[in-house]
C-alpha cells in the first residue's frame, strides 16, 4: 500500500477492531484474539510509514470538509510518527498484560472495556497524524470521551466522583480555553494548518501571542500543567491497564505532544524565542515539576504516587517546548518515548502487585519484593530510567533538556531538572528498598523464599506467556507472581528501557528534521 492509503487504515482499523470486539463479546477468547490481532496489524501499519517519514516525505490524506475551508486532514511528520509508533506499539504489550490482569482481577464489563480501549487508540493515532489544529482538537475530544467509561469502569461512587473531575477538567479546559484559542488563531491567521515555522509570524501582535499561548498550554488539560492536573490522580480509579497505557502514555502524551506540535507548527520556535512569550509558562512548568514531585513523596497509594510522578514528568516536555529552542523540542520528543517505557513499566508493576497480593498502599509492601522478585526488579529498572540514570533510556531525554536549558542561559531550569532527579530518587527507590530489605508486615503469614536468581526468571517469564485463565497468583520457582502475561509484559517494557539507552540516537536523528536549522 502507498502511504496515503495506510493513513485511513491505521485510523480505521482500531474502530473495525472495536466492532469486532463488540460482535465477539460473548466469547472472551475470540474477543481478546480480535483485540490482539488488531493491535498487531495497527502497529504494522504505523511502522510501515516510518521509512517514508524518515526519508523526509510527508504523506497526507484528507477526509471531508467539516467547516468551509477547514477539513479533517492528516499529514505525517516525525513528532507525530514517534507518538503514533509508541502508542500503537505499547498497545500490543498492554493488550497482553490486560488479558492477564482483567481475568486475574475478575473485572466486569470487559467487552465495553476493550471497545473503549480500541477507540481511544484510534483517536490517539488521529491526534498523532493530524494535519491541522481542528483535526487534532476533534480527536483530542474523542479521546477524552472514549476514556471516560474506562475511568469509571468499576461504577462505584468513588469512580463516579473521579469521572466528574476527569470530564470536568478535560472538557472544561479544552472547550473553555483551547477551543477559544483555536478559533481566535483562525480568525487572526485564516488557517489552522500545521506549517513548519508556524503561522503566526507577522499576523499576530506580541501581546496576543502570549495570551494565545497560555490559552493553548493551559487549555491542553491533558498535559496536566498545574493548576489543571487534578484529573490525572482522579483517573487512577481505573483498572491498571488503563492507567498504564492511557494515563501514562496515550492520553497524557497526547497532551504534551499537542504542546510540542503547537510550539513548532502553530507558533514557530524562532518566533516564540524572539518574543520571549513562553518564558513565564516555562516557569509554570518548572514549578509543576517540583511541586508534583513533592506531592508524590507524600502519597502512600502506589498508583497515586505514580500519577503525581507522571504530572511532574509531563512538565519536562512542556518545559522543553516552552524553552523554544530546537534541542528543547528534541529533548521533549525523546522524553515522550523514554518516559512512556519507564512509566508503563512502573504501572504494570503496580497492577501486578495488586493482582497477586491485592496490595495498593506502599506501606503494605514491606518484604513483598522477596515474593515477587521479577516485578520489583523491573520496578527498579523503570525507576532508574525515570530518574535518568545510565544505562537506561531516560538519561538521554533529560540530557538534551538540560542542554537546551543551558543553551538558553536558563541555569535555573538546569537546577530544576537536577533537583527533580533527586526527588525522583527519593520517592521511587524507597519502594524497591522496602520491598527487598524490610521484613514483611507482622500480619503477613506467607512464607518467603530466597531470591537470588531474579534475572534468569525475568527472561524465563518473558518467554512463557502461556495460559492466563488460571488463578491470579502464579507460583513458580518459589515466587508468588502475577499471571505470566502480566509479568511477561512488564519484563518486556523494562527491557525496552535498556534497549532505548543504546538506540536513543536513532530517535534523535529521526526528530532532527522537525527543528531543521535551529540545532547545530
Partner 1 sequence: MIEAHLPILQVIIPLIAAPVCVFLRHPLITWALATVISWVCLAISIMLLQQVQASGEIIYEIGGWAAPWGIEYRVDTLSAWVMVIVTSVGAVVTPYAKLSAEKEIDRDRLYIFYAMLLLCETGLLGITITGDAFNLFVFLEISSLSTYVLVSMGKDRRGLTAAYRYLIMGTLGATFYIIGVGLMYMMTGTLNIADLAKLIPDVAETRTVQAALAFLTVGLAIKLALFPLHLWLPNAYAFAPSVVTVFLAATATKVAVYALIRIVFTIFGGVDILESVEIRHVLAALAIAAMFAGSAVAIYQTNIKRMLAYSSLAQIGYMILGLSMNSVTGVTAGLVHLFNHAMMKGGLFMVMGCVVYRIGSAKLDDMAGLGKQMPVTMGAFVAGGLSLIGVPLSVGFISKWTLLQAAFEKGWWPVAALIVVSSLLAVIYIWRVVEVAYFREPAAGQVAVKEAPFLMLIPMLLLIGASFYFGIDGTSTLTVAGDAAKALIGGLK
Binding positions for partner 1, rule: CB under 8 A = 64-68, 72, 137-138, 141-142, 145, 152, 155, 157, 159-160, 163-164, 167-168, 171-172, 175-176, 179-180, 183-184, 186-187
Q: Taking the complex as a whole, how short is the minimal distance between the CB of residue 167 and partner 1, in angstroms?
A: 7
- The string over 157-190, giving b where at least 16 C-beta atoms fall within 10 Å of a residue's C-beta and e elsewhere, is eebeebbebbbebbeebbeebbeebbeebbebbe
Q: Residue 171 or residue 419: which is nearer to partner 1 going by CB?
A: 171
Inter-residue contact 244 to 348 (CB < 8 Å)? yes
Residue reference for cell 528543547: 328
Cα 474 to Cα 83, 186, 326, 469, 477: the distances in Å are 34, 56, 48, 11, 10
Q: From the CB of 269, what's the least distance to partner 1, in Å?
A: 26
For the CB of residue 284, give the shortest distance to partner 1 in the complex, in Å. 21
Closest CB to partner 1 among 167 and 314? 167
Written as nine digits, the cell of 226 is 498545574
When the beta carbons of 152 and 240 are compared against partner 1, the nearer one is 152
Give the helix, strand, coil percentages of the chain, each rounded to 5: 75, 5, 20
Single out the residue of 143, 117, 128 nearest to residue 31, CA to CA: 117
**Backbone φ and ψ of 286, nearest 5°:** -60, -40
| Rounded least distance, CB 492 to partner 1, Å | 36
- Copy the grid coordinates of residue 326: 530546537
Q: What are phi and psi of 508, to 5 degrees?
A: -60, -50
Q: Find, among 185, 178, 243, 190, the residue nearest to 217 by Cα.
A: 178
Cα 484 from chain centroid (whole Å): 24
What span, in angstroms and rounded, lies between the C-alpha atoms of 262 and 198?
Answer: 8
Q: How many C-beta atoms lie closer than 10 Å to residue 3's C-beta?
A: 17
Please, what is the minimum distance in Å from the beta carbon of residue 260 to partner 1?
21
| Beta carbons within 8 Å of 358's beta carbon, 6+ residues apart | none
The neighbour count for residue 199, using CB atoms within 10 Å, is: 24
Residue with Cβ nearer partner 1 (80 or 219): 219
Return the bridge partners of 480, or none: 475
Nearer to partner 1, 40 or 159 (CB): 159
- Taking residue 287's Cβ as centre, other Cβ atoms within 10 Å add up to 14
Terminal alpha carbon distance of the chain = 36
Q: Decide whether 164 or 298 has the Cβ nearer to partner 1.
A: 164
Question: Considering beta carbons, is residue 180 or 495 the nearer one to partner 1?
Answer: 180
| φ/ψ of residue 70, rounded to 5 | -130, 110
By C-beta, is 185 or 309 nearer to partner 1? 185
Q: Which is nearer to partner 1, 164 or 449 (CB)?
A: 164
460: Cβ contacts below 8 Å, ≥ 6 apart: none
Residue number with CB closer to partner 1 (64 or 442): 64
CB 159 → partner 1: shortest distance, Å? Answer: 8
Q: How far is the CB of 135 from partner 1 (least distance, A)?
A: 9
* Cβ at position 147, least distance to partner 1 in Å: 14
Nearer to partner 1, 112 or 464 (CB): 112
* CB of 188 vs partner 1, minimal distance in Å: 8
What is the closest distance, in whole angstroms, from the C-beta atom of residue 68 to partner 1 in the complex? 5
Q: Where are the alpha helices (DSSP H) in 106-250?
A: 110-129, 133-151, 157-173, 179-189, 206-219, 231-234, 240-241
Cβ 176 to partner 1 shortest distance, Å: 5
Amino acid at each position: 500500500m502507498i502511504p496515503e492509503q495506510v493513513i485511513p487504515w491505521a485510523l480505521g482499523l482500531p474502530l473495525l477492531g472495536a466492532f469486532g470486539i463488540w460482535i465477539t463479546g460473548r466469547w472472551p477468547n475470540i474477543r481478546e484474539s480480535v483485540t490482539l490481532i488488531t493491535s498487531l496489524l495497527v502497529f504494522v501499519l504505523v511502522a510501515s510509514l516510518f521509512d517514508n517519514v524518515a526519508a523526509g516525505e510527508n504523506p497526507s490524506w484528507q477526509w471531508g470538509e467539516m467547516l468551509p475551508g477547514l477539513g479533517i486532514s492528516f499529514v505525517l511528520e516525525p513528532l507525530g510518527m514517534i507518538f503514533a509508533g509508541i502508542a500503537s506499539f505499547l498497545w500490543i504489550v498492554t493488550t497482553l498484560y490486560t488479558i492477564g490482569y482483567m481475568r486475574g482481577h475478575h473485572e466486569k464489563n470487559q467487552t465495553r472495556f476493550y471497545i473503549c480501549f480500541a477507540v481511544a487508540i484510534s483517536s490517539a493515532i488521529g491526534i498523532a497524524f493530524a494535519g491541522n489544529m481542528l483535526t487534532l482538537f476533534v480527536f483530542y475530544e474523542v479521546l477524552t470521551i472514549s476514556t471516560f467509561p474506562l475511568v469509571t469502569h468499576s461504577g462505584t461512587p468513588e469512580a463516579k466522583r473521579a469521572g466528574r473531575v476527569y470530564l470536568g477538567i478535560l472538557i472544561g479546559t479544552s472547550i473553555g480555553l483551547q477551543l477559544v484559542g483555536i478559533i481566535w488563531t483562525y480568525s487572526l491567521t485564516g488557517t489552522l494548518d500545521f506549517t513548519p515555522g508556524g503561522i503566526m509570524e507577522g499576523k499576530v501582535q506580541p501581546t496576543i501571542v502570549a495570551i494565545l499561548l497560555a490559552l493553548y498550554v493551559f487549555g491542553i488539560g491533558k498535559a496536566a500543567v498545574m493548576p489543571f492536573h487534578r484529573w490525572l490522580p482522579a483517573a487512577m480509579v481505573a483498572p491498571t491497564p488503563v492507567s498504564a497505557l492511557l494515563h501514562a502514555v496515550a492520553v497524557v502524551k497526547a497532551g504534551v505532544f499537542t504542546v510540542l506540535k503547537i510550539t513548532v507548527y502553530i507558533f514557530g520556535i524562532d518566533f516564540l524565542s524572539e518574543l520571549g512569550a513562553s518564558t513565564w509558562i516555562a516557569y509554570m512548568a518548572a514549578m509543576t515539576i517540583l511541586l508534583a514531585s513533592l506531592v508524590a513523596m507524600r502519597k502512600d497509594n502506589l498508583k497515586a504516587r505514580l500519577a503525581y510522578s507522571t504530572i511532574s514528568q509531563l512538565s519536562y516536555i512542556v518545559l522543553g517546548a516552552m524553552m523554544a529552542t530546537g534541542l528543547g523540542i528534541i529533548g521533549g520528543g525523546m522524553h515522550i518515548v523514554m518516559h512512556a517505557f519507564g512509566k508503563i513499566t512502573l504501572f504494570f508493576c503496580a497492577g501486578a502487585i495488586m493482582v497477586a497480593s491485592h496490595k495498593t498502599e506502599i506501606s503494605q509492601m514491606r518484604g513483598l519484593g522477596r515474593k515477587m522478585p521479577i516485578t520489583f526488579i523491573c520496578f527498579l529498572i523503570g525507576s532508574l530510567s525515570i530518574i535518568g540514570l545510565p544505562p537506561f533510556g531516560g538519561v538521554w531525554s533529560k540530557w538534551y533538556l538540560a542542554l537546551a536549558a543551558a543553551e538558553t542561559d536558563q541555569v535555573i531550569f538546569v537546577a530544576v531538572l537536577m533537583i527533580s532527579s533527586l526527588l525522583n530518587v527519593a520517592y521511587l527507590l524507597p519502594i524497591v528498598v522496602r520491598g527487598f530489605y524490610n521484613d514483611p508486615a507482622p500480619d503477613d503469614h506467607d512464607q518467603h523464599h530466597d531470591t537470588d536468581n531474579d534475572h534468569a526468571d525475568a527472561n524465563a517469564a518473558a518467554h512463557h506467556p502461556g495460559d492466563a485463565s488460571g488463578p491470579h497468583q502464579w507460583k513458580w520457582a518459589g515466587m508468588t507472581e502475577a499471571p505470566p502475561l502480566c509479568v511477561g509484559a512488564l519484563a518486556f517494557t523494562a527491557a525496552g528501557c535498556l534497549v532505548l539507552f543504546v538506540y536513543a540516537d536513532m530517535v534523535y536523528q529521526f526528530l532532527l528534521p522537525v527543528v531543521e536549522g535551529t540545532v547545530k
